[in-house]
Amino acid sequence: MNDLTIHTRTAPSGPVLELTGGLDHVTSPRVRAHLLHLSLLPGQLLVVDLGAVAFCDSSGISALIAARNHALQAGASIALAAVPSRIDRIFHVVGLEAVFPTHPTAQAATDAWTPPAV
């Protein structure tokens, strides 16, 4: 499963990364490289939509943790959307459900975002 498509769009809350395909040791470096060019402002929300991810191994989880670290370094937050049940089970086994807020859809994640007070 070495095919991964990364599509980025902008929502009022911040960037939404839509991942499609396999998130594994071959493709996760592309996600990390994509993050280097992703601008985040303090108070924004980075949403990672996993609804079309067919497979995620430990390298994929590591890439998601890198995305979280990128968001936190920018003073932003992160949420995962549409996490497939097979990946959600892995998150619960390794304790990541406490690290990543999750939402049923990317729209639900962006709707839950509260803009920072000015």
pLDDT digits (tens, 9 = 90+) for 106-117: 999 999 999 887
Residue 22 lies in a domain: yes
Label residue 118 by pLDDT band (50, 70, 90). Answer: low
Q: What is the mean pLDDT of residues 73-78?
A: 96
Residue 53 lies in a domain: yes
Residue 117 lies in a domain: no
Residue 65 lies in a domain: yes
Residue 116 lies in a domain: no
Number of domains in the chain: 1
CATH of the domain at 89: 3.30.750.24
Residue 67 lies in a domain: yes
Cβ distance 53 to 89 under 8 Å? no
pTM for the model stands at 0.94
Q: Which of 61, 57, 55 is CA-nearest to residue 100?
A: 61
Range(s) of the domain holding residue 81: 4-111
